[in-house]
Amino acid sequence: MPWETLHEMLFALLLYLACLLPEVMMDQKTKEVYCRFNTTVLLMGTNLNASSIFNVEWHAQLNGREKVSILTYSPGSNNIYINESYRKRVVFAHMNFSLTIHYVTFSDEGVYTLTIQLLNNQQQIGRTKVTVIIPVSNVHITSETSVPHQGKNITLNCLGMAGTAMSYSWQKCNQPLPIGNRTILSKDNASLTFINIQQSDIGNYRCVAQNVLSSGHKDFILQLCAETGVSPWWSYGIYGYPGYLGYAIVLFYIFSWVKRTRKSSSKGQSDAIYENTAFENTPTNNGKRVPPVYIRHIKK
């Protein structure tokens, strides 16, 4: 009985090693190459002197497919065999054994191995992992509305029309987007949602889509829709129309009123400041308050 358990344990250990070993080797030696779809990829050879080499082989473990032999070459006899289906689009360098593949497609993705048998029976192995990429292009941002009302939610959806293995990120006014309670990113960062949108959310937003070979972006200018209907009285304060603009006008009036009172007491101030107080022309009975003309227009 214990003998059988030992067998099982040994078997399990072997299985474990069989799965583990190739990975360990890959981590140490495999180079990564990213190339654009339908372009040319150069798989590096070696700088060994050909006179010390018995045989050279290129083969590939294509993603999710069988292992394919691409070519074998023996420098001594100058014999070369190239797989029929690769003959038209690979170039092999006899001096350094590099392999050039033209017109790569997604079916070329995988790990390419160069095995060199030396005359002294030693062996050199080099691996290159090839990933085919379509560059990012045509980045779009869509949303239900471009000019939302204050307090509403709005979602911006970003999408690169072309491009593989893309990741998304967002900027506001060229800075990384500050993530707060009211700005929510989808899991893949492609969608940005504003909850209870406020004046402070107004600005220029940029979606950046990128992959290892390229990046693209699209800008979106977020504005708020001005309220047109009848608003409750409190919305004339911080929240609603005229909001900050209203405050600016009040301050402006106070400012120009103070200027005028000062000027009447002390002469010789600059004309420029005085000229800027254009609102002076509008009839006002009381300089300290919001111009009545403006309020009347809003309340209608």
Ligand X SMILES: *[C@@H]1O[C@H](CO)[C@@H](O)[C@H](O)[C@H]1NC(C)=O
Residues that bind ligand X in the complex, under the rule CB under 6 A:
38, 44-45, 49, 51, 68-69, 83, 85, 93, 95-96, 98, 103, 152-153, 167, 169, 180-181, 185, 188-189, 195
For 270, the token pair is: 């600059």
Pair 70, 108: CB distance under 8 Å: no
Residue whose CB is less far from ligand X, 117 or 189? 189
Question: Rounded to whole angstroms, what are the CA distances from 208 to 143, 176, 177, 195, 284?
Answer: 16, 11, 11, 22, 50
Residue whose CB is less far from ligand X, 186 or 276? 186
Q: Is the torsion defined by CA of 230, 236, 241, 245 positive or negative?
A: positive
Residue whose CB is less far from ligand X, 148 or 242? 148
Quote the least distance from Cβ 175 to ligand X, whole Å. 11
Strands annotated E in 10-120: 31-36, 41-43, 53-62, 67-74, 79-82, 90-92, 99-101, 110-118
Q: For residue 31, what are the β-bridge partners?
A: 128
Closest to 48 in 3D by CA, of 112, 94, 101, 2: 94
Number of residue whose CB is nearest ligand X: 98
Per DSSP, 95 falls in state: T
Q: For residue 191, what are the β-bridge partners?
A: 157
Residue whose CB is less far from ligand X, 114 or 291? 114
245 alpha-carbon distance from chain centroid: 36
Quote the least distance from Cβ 169 to ligand X, whole Å. 5
Residues 6+ apart with CB under 8 A from 293: 282, 283
Quote the least distance from Cβ 36 to ligand X, whole Å. 10
Residue whose CB is less far from ligand X, 153 or 276? 153
Quote the least distance from Cβ 33 to ligand X, whole Å. 12
Residue whose CB is less far from ligand X, 16 or 103? 103
Quote the least distance from Cβ 124 to ligand X, whole Å. 14
Residues 6+ apart with CB under 8 A from 84: none
Pair 220, 156: CB distance under 8 Å: yes
Neighbour count for residue 59 (Cβ, 10 Å): 17
Pair 191, 156: CB distance under 8 Å: yes
Cα distance between the two ends of the chain: 96
Quote the least distance from Cβ 267 to ligand X, whole Å. 51
Residue whose CB is less far from ligand X, 180 or 292? 180
Question: CA–CA separation, 168 vs 207, rounded Å?
Answer: 7
Quote the least distance from Cβ 51 to ligand X, whole Å. 4
Residue whose CB is less far from ligand X, 60 or 253? 60
Quote the least distance from Cβ 93 to ligand X, whole Å. 4
